Amino acid sequence: MPDAAMSDVVVDGNVLRVEALSVAYPSRDGWLHAVDGVSLSIAPGTVLGLVGESGSGKSTVVLALLGLLGSSARLRAERLEFDGHDLLREAAALRGRRIGVVFQDSAATLNPALTVGTQVVEPMRVHLGTKRALAWQRGIELLAEMGIPRPAEIMRSYPHQLSGGMKQRVGIAAALASEPDLLLLDEPTTALDVTIEAQILSLLDRLRTMRLEGGRRLAMLLVSHNLGIVDRLCDSVSVLYAGRLVESGTTANVLQRPLHPYSKGLLAALPRVDRQHAGRLAPIPGRLPDLWAPDPGCNFRPRCAFASAGCEQPQRVTGDHHKVRCHRADTIVDIPWPIERATAAAQPRSAVPLVEAADLSIRFDSGGWLQRLLGESAGILAVDRVSLTIHSGEVLGLVGESGCGKSTLGRLLLRLLPALDGTLSFAAEPVRAKPDARFRRQAQVVFQNSDTSLNPRQTVGEILGRAIRWFAIANVEAEVMVEVGRLLDLVRLPRSYARRYPHQLSGGEKQRVGIARALAPRPRFVVCDEAVSALDVSVQAAVLNLLRDLRDQLGVAYLFISHDIGVIAHIADRIAVMYRGTIVEEGLADDVLRPPYHPYTELLLSSVPLIGRQRDTDPPPAARPPAAGGCKFADRCRFRLGPLCDSVPPPLQAAGPGHRIRCHIPLPQLAGQPHWLDRGETT
Amino acid sequence: MRLAAFLLRRLLGLVGVLLGMSVLIFGIIHILPGNVAYAILGEFATPAAVAQLEAKLGLNDPLPMQYWRWLSALLQGDFGTSIVMSRPAASLIAEALGRSAVLAALAFGLVAMGGIGLGLYGATHRGRLADKLLTLLQFVLIAVPEFFWAILAVLIFAAWLNLLPATGYAPLSDGVLAWGSHLLLPVLVLASGLVAHVARLTRSSTIEVLDSRYVLTARARGLGERRVLWRHALPNALLPAITVLAIDAGLLIGGIVVVETVFAYPGLGRLLVYAIERHDLPLLQVGMMVVTAIYAVANFIAELLYAVLNPRIRVAGAAA
Q: pLDDT tens digit string along A476-498?
A: 889 999 999 999 988 888 899 99
Give the three-state DSSP class for A263: helix
The β-bridge partners of A395 are A558
**Secondary structure of residue B293 in the 3-state scheme:** helix
Calculate what percentage of chain B has a pLDDT beyond 90. Answer: 25
Domain C-terminal end among A470, A490, A524: A524
Of A463, A496, A524, which residue sits at a domain end?
A: A524
**CA dist., res. B8 & res. A265, Å (int):** 61
- Which has the closest alpha carbon to A389: A169, A658, A85? A658
Q: Do A491 and A357 fall within a single domain?
A: yes
Q: Summarize pLDDT for A41-96 with one digit per residue, the tens.
A: 999 989 999 998 888 889 899 999 999 988 889 999 999 999 989 999 999 999 99
As a residue count, chain A comes to 683
**A344 within domain boundaries:** no
Q: How far apart are CA A485 and CA A465, in angstroms?
A: 10
Residues 6+ apart with CB under 8 A from B245: B108, B111, B112, B115, B198, B302
Q: From chain B, which residues contact A within 8 Å (Cβ)?
A: 5, 8-9, 12, 212-214, 216-224, 227, 231-232, 235-236, 309-312, 315, 317-320
Statement to judge: residues A314 and A408 lie in one domain: no
In A, minimum Cα distance to B210 occurs at: A111
Nearest chain A CA: its distance from B304 CA (Å): 16
Yes or no: say if A135 and A82 are a contact pair by the CB < 8 Å rule: no
Report the candidate in A102, A311, A123 with the shortest Cα–Cα distance to residue A186: A102
Q: List, for residues A669-678, the tens digit of each pLDDT value.
A: 888 887 777 7
Cβ A458 vs Cβ A469: under 8 Å? no
Instruction: In whole angstroms, give the CA distance from residue A420 to residue B227.
Output: 51
The sheet with strand A47-51 has its strands ordered as A99-102, A182-186, A219-224, A47-51, A236-241, A244-250, A323-324
Q: Closest Cα to residue B252, out of B194, B293, B302?
A: B194
The lowest-confidence range among A29-38, A267-276, B23-32 is A267-276
Predicted local confidence at residue A2, as pLDDT: 42
Residue A588 in 3-state DSSP? Answer: strand
Largest CA distance in chain B: 86
**One domain, residues A188 and A41:** yes
For residue A121, tell me if it sits in a domain: no
Tell me whether residue A375 is exposed, middle or buried, using C-beta atoms within 10 angstroms of its C-beta: 0 to 12, 13 to 18, 19 or more: exposed
Average pLDDT, chain A: 86
Task: Answer for the pair A414, A487: CB distance below 8 angstroms, yes or no.
Answer: no
Cα torsion for A567, A568, A572, A574, to the nearest 10°? -160
Q: Is A337 helix (H, G, I), strand (E, B) or coil?
A: coil
Pair (A439, A492) in one structural domain: yes
What is the rounded CA–CA span in Å between residue A649 and residue A670?
Answer: 18
Do both A313 and A362 map to the same domain? Answer: no
Listed as ranges, residues in chain B with pLDDT below 50 are: 317-320
Q: DSSP letter for A343, please.
A: -
The reply to whether omega before A596 is within 30° of 0 (cis) is: yes
* Domain shared by A319 and A409, yes or no: no
Report how far residue A258's alpha carbon sits from residue A396's, in angstroms, rounded to the nearest whole number.
34
> B8 to chain A nearest CA, in Å?
10
- The answer to whether A250 and A322 have CB atoms below 8 angstroms apart is yes
Q: What is the DSSP string of A428-481?
A: TEEPPSS--HHHHHHEEEE-S-HHHHS-TTS-HHHHHHHHHHHTTS--SHHHHH
Helix (H, G, I), strand (E, B) or coil at A49: strand
Q: Which residues of A touch B213 (CB under 8 A)?
A: 103, 105, 108-109
Return d(Cα B239, Cα A218) in angstroms, integer: 39
Radius of gyration of chain A (CA): 26
Of the candidates A96, A368, A371, the beta carbon closest to that of B222 is on A96
Q: What is the pLDDT of residue B319?
A: 46
Cβ neighbours around B84 below 10 Å, total? 15
Residue A407 has pLDDT above 60, yes or no: yes
Helix (H) or strand (E) run with residue A50 in it: strand A47-51
Helix, strand, coil shares, percent, chain B, to 5: 80, 0, 20
Cα A415 from chain centroid (whole Å): 28
**Helix, strand, coil percentages, rounded to 5, for chain A:** 35, 20, 45
Cα separation, A33 vs A19, whole angstroms: 16
Interface probe for A, chosen from B15, B217, B225 (most Cβ of A below 10 Å), is B217
Based on the fold, state whether residues A290 and A364 are members of the same structural domain. no
Which of B216, B221, B310 would best serve as a mutation to test chain A binding (most A beta carbons within 10 A)? B221
In a domain, A532, yes or no: no
Percent of chain A with pLDDT over 90: 46
**Chain A residues with CB inside 8 Å of B218's CB?**
111
Task: Considering only the beta carbons, identify the residue of A108, A109, A113 that sits closest to B235.
Answer: A113
Inspect the interface and report whether the beta carbons of A108 and B220 lie closer than 8 Å. Answer: no
Residues of B in contact with A96 (CB under 8 A): 220-223
User: What's the distance, CA B237 to chain centroid?
Assistant: 23
Per-residue confidence at A6, pLDDT binned at 50, 70, 90?
very low
pLDDT of residue B75: 86
Is the pLDDT assigned to residue A262 strictly greater than 70? yes
Q: Return phi, psi of residue A249, to 5°.
A: 170, -170
Name which of B7, B126, B214, B227 to mutate to probe chain A: the one with the most chain A Cβ atoms within 10 A of its Cβ: B214
Q: Which residues from A are below 8 Å from B when comparing CB atoms?
A: 66, 68, 92-97, 100-101, 103, 105, 108-115, 122-123, 126-127, 148-150, 153-154, 157-158, 160-163, 166, 171, 174-175, 178, 368, 370-371
For A543-577, letters b (16+ CB in 10 Å) and e give bbbbbbbbbbebbbbbbbbbbbbbbbbbbbbbbbb
Please state which CATH number belongs to domain B91-314: 1.10.3720.10
CB contact under 8 A, B220 and A66: yes
What single-letter DSSP state applies at residue A329? T
A475 and A359 together in one domain:
yes
> What digits encode the pLDDT tens for the residues A202-259?
889 888 877 666 677 899 999 998 888 999 899 999 999 999 999 999 999 999 999 9
Same domain, A364 and A303: no
The pLDDT > 70 percentage for chain A reads: 90
* Å between A480 CA and nearest CA of chain B: 43
Whether residue A19 contacts residue A5, with contact meaning beta carbons closer than 8 Å, is answered with no
What is the 3-class SS of A207-238, one letter each residue?
HHHCECHHHCECEEEEEECCHHHHHHHCCEEE
d(CA A162, CA A435): 40
The one-letter code for the residue type at A98 is: R
- Let me know the angle formed at the C-alpha of A530 by A529 and A534, rounded to the nearest 5 degrees: 140
Number of A/B CB contacts below 8 angstroms equals 101
Helix pair B268-277, B89-124: axis angle to 10 deg: 130
User: Which CATH number goes with the domain that contains A248?
Assistant: 3.40.50.300
Nearest neighbour of B319 by CB, restricted to A109, A113, A161: A161
- Residue A100: burial class (beta carbons within 10 Å; 0-12, 13-18, 19+): buried
- A305 and A236 in one domain? yes
- The secondary structure of A100-142, three-state, reads EEECCCHHHHCCCCCCHHHHHHHHHHHHHCCCHHHHHHHHHHH
Domain annotation covers residue A188: yes
Q: What b/e readout covers B272-299, taking b as 16+ CB neighbours within 10 angstroms? A: bbbbeeebbbbbbbbbbbbbbebbbebb
Select from A559, A566, A551, A572 the least CA-distant residue to A528.
Answer: A559
Domain ranges across chain B: 2-75, 91-314
| Angle (nearest 5°) at CA A567 between A564 and A573 | 120
The number of domains in chain A is 3
Query: Which of A105, A160, A176, A377 to mutate: most B Cβ within 10 Å?
Result: A160
Whether residue A173 is predicted with pLDDT greater than 90 in this model: the reply is yes
Q: How far is A452 from chain B (nearest CA, A)?
A: 20
CA B143/CA B45 separation, integer angstroms: 47
3-state class of A79 per DSSP?
Answer: strand
* DSSP reduced 3-state for A405: coil
Model-level pTM greater than 0.90?
no
What domain range is A70 assigned to?
4-98+180-272+280-324
Identify whether residues A677 and A629 lie together within a single domain.
yes
Q: State the Cα–Cα distance between residues A248 and B130, nearest whole angstrom.
A: 49
CA A177/CA A123 separation, integer angstroms: 6
The ipTM value here is 0.81
- CB within 8 Å of A582: residues ≥ 6 apart: A384, A385, A386, A632, A662
Query: What phi and psi, each to the nearest 5 degrees, are found at residue A75?
Result: -115, 125
Cα separation values, B22 from A289, A323, B19, Å: 67, 81, 5
